[in-house]
A and B are shown apart, each in its own frame.
Chain A
């Protein structure tokens, strides 16, 4: 047939172009997707490993930890323990998808449909991404970050920069604003501001002023606790932001490094909240596109079978007692839910009408899905759209493990009428990052006294911090703060469970 996109497994750039055009036609016309312009890049396995190691980004500042990850990935790749991802896609405009050169033509089609259209649509339309990320600015910002870090290394020494970055990385997961309220991230403006700040510092720097005697310091009393807290913006859960703004002895470039790490953490925040939805969307989209192309006769039966093989592997969900089990597979759960929504919209049963009165039998599959993709995150998506039929299909059950309970782990709910809502609520909760991450915030600073920084960890369900790690992170925190840092773990009744106090390590004399 002349209409085939390709024959066999080989591809060239001309084939890729044809594939992309064909996918685009289905994606835009039949599915009504709305995507950023696409850019497709073919890379080697080594480059793929490389991208892996720097959180999937094409350009990134240099740091030993990426080298560590590279070595780790490389070793397990060589040993055959790990297959490489078929694709990496970047939330930027144009949306960049990396394809591996080793992939067959079928795999390239799958990847293009999956990444360049599925993920791309999700990035562009989901409210979290709209709120928190700046697809136009990210690549420029990463470029700026890379150069900035390099410049700092030249000026202040590699060890110094490494020390600051290590500390920032340790606090990265607590460098996020969880609730919008401030304005959306504008990375281009951010980059410009950073440049201006730097320039300003250089212009106004005058060594003379350092020697000018200071006036008598203000009396340190007076400021009330409430006022002090307010001035410092406390309580503050974004530890990196707090340090950047309030740590007394950081050099301006150190604050900029904290800001960079914080922006990058924030940039990835939506991805961690939408794993199930994001992969579900992309998988659903590639499945639709591939099926469509096959029906049109543009993909041969053999190649379509090859696709089905890979697809089935991707959406495979091992059961809990299977040695391969490691939690819910976001591809499997996400894809199943998208297909289930399609079923509810087109062929609802009575149960579905009862559970999903808004969408059951509405018949406009893509309309409903696009709306879902735009307005939910994993937690709310599962909480709203996980149907009894799917819970039965996966045979889900809810376990409650109380270490105090001698009899063992209790089965709290199963996939029956009594259990559906409880199972669904619990699964949704497990996909809520606000609930998964430790809830730690800065509550006070003893400014008048020894400047000790006080943090609270609000312990949920008796789950405290891992001690070794907590001490190490706090050490980093204290080094940045340059005074003592105390972390107090409190339960819901404000009862103190454990307390850490860490003093900063002396800074090597070279800095002064």
Chain B
């Protein structure tokens, strides 16, 4: 008879089978991830979690018989006698011998871990190597104390901990103290009675022997300081989402913007341990709002882009000191702006916003299939284009289809990379 505790066995034996399954079901899972991420809030994209995938593609076929005449023996007959007939459908019919069997094969929920989810999310978007390299670069290694160990290099001996342990051990094993021995020696010296003296000497011998047996410091006591390398993420980042929500922005345009912000968030989240998001929507006034209001709240009015930039600047000044925070901003707009506002917008950008930003992206969103969109440049586009030509670190692109979002994202980052490299030397 053996009783064995297997709980400590390395777990995750199924992990490899699970990965094989994921690999095989990749396109299905990817589709599911894509669908799920559309329904989620920006921050939730990184949560991982359940996706539902159809089992059809993963079906394992067997020869199965169906139809024909069937015989069955069932329990629980309350009223039937031989020769009765049961209705085929409705209550009392026992036609479905395996109810739900077909249904449960249709789809099932697959729980993805955070990393699996993000990987698939990014993988589907073919996040360029460029971006991955950037992520890798920004993690630096740091060294951190991590307790004590029993082995190590002499340079790392922790004297205080070693002595502490030695003391504890000496007390536990009752090693005689130096003062005890001295006292006894003094007593012997002062002693006159022969018998008592012999007894005391004997005692002294024993104490001395004991103190030899129990060393002052034992190799067992020695402790070394242990160090651990820890990844030290580059501090923190804040991402500003600026959006024009005046009446001209349609649901489709907001959706495009949302996707862009989502990508940016995932991208930053990979890079920084801590990412804040600030949503600023504007008409002719700007206000900071939560995500729900940002994407779904109704608003209308005129358009003053400068108001949003001003609001962003205020928030940066109040809460995000540029020396502590990496600041990113992405602006989405259909490109309309009051003519009178152009100058102010340009000034705010060049003087206040761009100097504190790591990256400023301008995304001009258009209606799906909108060809007119390409015909003439909008007022905002013209303005930004001028700024960019005069050397401002601005990235800008036009988008009108969902499928363009990723390439555009890719583009923006690539462009920034090259401009940075140019700027560096």
| A interface, CB within 8 angstroms of B | 13, 16-17, 20-21, 24, 37-44, 46-47, 49-50, 53-54, 62-68, 70-72, 74-75, 78-79, 94, 98, 101, 162, 166, 169-170, 172-174, 317-322, 325-328, 394-403, 407-416, 418-419, 423, 426-427, 429-430, 437-438, 440, 457, 459-466, 468-470, 472-473, 476
- Chain B residues with CB under 8 A of A53: 14, 17
Q: Kindly state the separation between the CA atoms of A395 and B74 in the bound complex, as whole angstroms.
A: 8
Which B residues form the contact surface with A (CB < 8 A)? 1-7, 9, 11-14, 16-25, 50, 58-78, 80-88, 91-95, 97-99, 108-111
Q: Which of B73, B88, B111 contacts A398 (CB 8 A)?
A: B73
Provide the residues of chain B in CB contact with A394, threshold 8 Å: 75-76
Query: Taking chain B's interface residues, is the majority helix, strand, or loop, or is none over half, making it mixed?
Result: loop
With contacts A64-B20, A70-B17 taken as known, whether A419 is within 8 angstroms of B66 at the C-beta atoms is no
If A321-B76, A430-B73 touch, whether A411 touches B81 (CB-CB below 8 Å) is yes
B residues near A402, Cβ cutoff 8 Å: 69
Subset of 19 A-B contacts with CB under 8 Å: A13-B3, A20-B3, A24-B1, A38-B2, A40-B2, A41-B5, A50-B14, A67-B19, A74-B111, A75-B50, A162-B24, A321-B76, A395-B77, A397-B74, A399-B94, A401-B70, A410-B85, A426-B73, A460-B68
List chain B residues, Cβ under 8 A from A476.
61
Quote the shortest CB–CB distance from A194 to chain B (angstroms).
23
Docked complex Cα distance between A457 and B63 (Å): 10
From B13, B68, B95, B97, contact of A50 by CB (8 A): B13
* B65 with A438: CB separation less than 8 A: yes
User: What is the predominant secondary structure among interface residues of chain A facing chain B?
Assistant: mixed
CA–CA, A47 to B91, complex, Å? 41
Separation of A413 and B80 alpha carbons in the complex (Å): 9
CB-based contact A169/B68 at 8 Å: no
A397 touches B73 (CB 8 A): yes
Establish whether residues B7 and A47, one from each chain, have CB atoms under 8 Å apart when the complex forms.
yes
Contact between A414 and B97 (Cβ–Cβ < 8 Å)? Answer: no
Asked if residues B69 and A403 are in contact (CB atoms below 8 Å), the reply is: yes
Q: Is the CB of B3 within 8 A of A410?
A: no
CA distance A79 to B111 in the complex (A): 11
- A400 pairs with B80, CB closer than 8 A: no
Task: Note all chain A residues with C-beta closer than 8 A to B14.
Answer: 46, 49-50, 53, 66-67, 70
Contact A42 B4, CB 8 Å, known A65-B60, A407-B85, A410-B85: yes
A408 near B86 with CB under 8 A, answer yes
Q: How many A-B Cβ pairs are below 8 Å?
A: 252
Q: Which residues of B contact A320 (CB under 8 A)?
A: 74-77, 94
In the complex the two chains form, what is the Cα distance from A318 to B74 in whole Å? 10
A91 to B80, CA, bound (A): 43
Contact with A412, one of B16, B66, B71, B88 (Cβ below 8 angstroms) = B71
B4 touches A40 (CB 8 A): yes
Sorted nearest first, the 8 A-B pairs with minimum C-beta distance are: A319-B76, A463-B68, A67-B21, A462-B68, A67-B17, A472-B61, A320-B74, A64-B20
Neighbouring B residues of A470 by C-beta, 8 Å: 61, 63-64
Could you tell me the distance between the alpha carbons of A464 and B65 in the complex, rounded to whole angstroms?
5
Write out the residue numbers on chain A whose beta carbons fall within 8 Å of the beta carbon of B64: 438, 465-466, 469-470
Contacts of B73 in A (CB 8 A): 328, 396-399, 423, 426-427, 430
Given contacts A400-B69, A430-B71, contact A94 B99 (CB under 8 A): no
Report B-chain residues with C-beta under 8 Å of the C-beta of A43: 6-7, 9
Residue among B19, B64, B75, B78 facing the most chain A CB atoms (10 A cut-off): B75
When C-beta atoms are compared, the residue in chain A nearest to B20 turns out to be: A64
Q: How far is it, in angstroms, between the C-alpha of A403 and the C-alpha of B69 when the chains are bound?
A: 6
Q: Are A395 and B78 in contact (CB under 8 A)?
A: yes
Q: How far is the CB of B272 from chain A (nearest CB, A)?
A: 31
A460 to B21, CA, bound (A): 37
Q: Are B109 and A75 in contact (CB under 8 A)?
A: yes
How far, in Å, is A19 (CB) from chain B's closest CB?
A: 10
Taken together as a complex, chains A and B put the C-alpha atoms of A44 and B14 apart, in Å, by 13
Which B-chain residue is minimally distant from A333 (CB atoms)?
B75
Question: Which residues in B have their C-beta under 8 angstroms from that of A430?
Answer: 71-73
Residues of A within 8 A of B18 (CB): 67, 70-71
Residues in B with CB closer than 8 Å to A13 are: 3, 5
Can you name the residue of chain B whose Cβ is closest to the Cβ of A427? B73
**How far is A344 from B85 in the complex, measured between Cα atoms in Å?**
35
> For residue A16, which residues in chain B have a CB less than 8 angstroms away from its CB?
3
| Contacting residues, chain B, for A419 (C-beta < 8 A) | 82
Q: If the complex has contacts A41-B4, A63-B17, A75-B50, are A466 and B82 also in contact, measured as CB distance less than 8 A?
A: no
User: Which A residues touch B71, using CB under 8 A?
Assistant: 398-401, 412, 426, 429-430, 461
* Partner of B67 from A98, A398, A403, A429 at Cβ < 8 Å: A403
Q: What's the least CB distance linking B345 to chain A, in Å?
A: 51
> How far apart sit A429 and B72, CA to CA, in the bound complex (Å)?
10
Asked if B74 and A396 make an inter-chain contact with CB atoms under 8 angstroms apart, the answer reads: yes
- B75's partner among A64, A94, A319, A401 (CB-CB below 8 A) is A319
Closest to A400 in B: B71
Q: Please, which residues of chain A bring their CB within 8 A of the CB of B66?
A: 463-466
Further contacts, 4 of them, CB under 8 A, given A49-B14, A326-B99, A394-B75: A39-B3, A170-B60, A174-B63, A321-B76
In Å, the complex CA distance between A305 and B73 comes to 33
CB-CB nearest in chain A for B12: A46
Given contacts A44-B7, A409-B94, A469-B62, contact A418 B76 (CB under 8 A): no
A101–B5 Cα distance when bound, in Å, is 9
Q: Which residues of A contact B81 (CB under 8 A)?
A: 411, 414
- Contact at B111–A42, with CB atoms within 8 Å? no
Q: Are A459 and B4 in contact (CB under 8 A)?
A: no
Residues of B within 8 A of A172 (CB): 62
> How far apart are the CA atoms of A322 and B92 in the complex, in Å?
9
Contact assessment for B85 and A71 in the assembled complex, using a CB-CB cutoff below 8 Å = no
Given A47-B7, A66-B17: A466 in contact with B2 (beta carbons within 8 A): no
Q: Which residues of A contact B11 (CB under 8 A)?
A: 44, 46-47
Tell me whether B98 and A326 are in contact (CB under 8 A): yes
Task: Please judge, given known A-B contacts A41-B6, A71-B111, A75-B50, whether A409 and B77 are in contact too, CB under 8 Å.
Answer: no
Give bound CA distance, A476 to B61, whole Å: 10
Q: Are B97 and A169 in contact (CB under 8 A)?
A: no
CB distance from A151 to the nearest CB of B (A): 16
What residues of chain B lie closer than 8 Å to A68, measured between beta carbons?
A: 21, 25, 58
Are B86 and A399 within 8 A (Cβ)? Answer: yes
Give the interface centre of B63, B67, B77, B80 by most chain A CB atoms within 10 Å. Answer: B63
Cα–Cα, bound, A469→B91 (Å): 31
Please judge, given known A-B contacts A50-B13, A395-B78, whether A78 and B111 are in contact too, CB under 8 Å.
yes
Query: Which residues does chain B contribute within 8 Å of A403, judged by CB atoms?
Result: 67-69
Chain A residue contacts of B59, Cβ below 8 A: 472
B23 to chain A: closest residue by CB: A64
Inter-chain contact B63/A101, CB cutoff 8 Å = no
Bound-complex Cα distance A471 to B414 (A): 49
Q: Are B1 and A20 in contact (CB under 8 A)?
A: yes
Answer whether A321 and B82 are a contact pair too, CB < 8 Å, given A64-B20, A327-B97, A469-B64.
no
* A462 with B69, Cβ < 8 A, contacts A63-B20, A411-B80, A469-B63 known: yes
Q: A75-B50, A396-B73, A463-B67 are in contact. Are A67 and B82 (CB under 8 A)?
A: no
A101 to B392, CA, bound (A): 64
**B79 → chain A closest CB, angstroms:** 10
Instruction: Provide the residues of chain A in CB contact with B85, threshold 8 Å.
Output: 407-411
Cα separation A325 to B14 with both chains bound (whole Å): 32
Q: Which of A101, A320, A322, A325 has the most CB of B within 10 A?
A: A320
Chain B proximity of A401: nearest CB distance (Å): 4
Question: In the complex, which residue of chain B has the Cβ closest to the Cβ of A409?
Answer: B86
Choose among B7, B75, B108 the residue that contacts A71 (Cβ–Cβ < 8 A).
B108
State whether A64 and B80 are in contact (beta carbons under 8 Å apart), knowing that A75-B111, A398-B73, A408-B86 are contacts in the complex: no
Question: Considering only CB atoms, which chain B residue lies closest to A66 in the complex?
Answer: B17
Determine the distance from Cα of A94 to Cα of B4 in the docked complex, in whole angstroms: 13
> Which of B2, B63, B97 is the one whose CB lies under 8 Å from A173?
B63
Q: Say yes or no: B86 contacts A411, CB within 8 Å.
A: yes
The residues of B that contact A401 with a CB separation of less than 8 Å are 69-72, 95
Interface contact B76-A395, CB-CB below 8 Å: yes
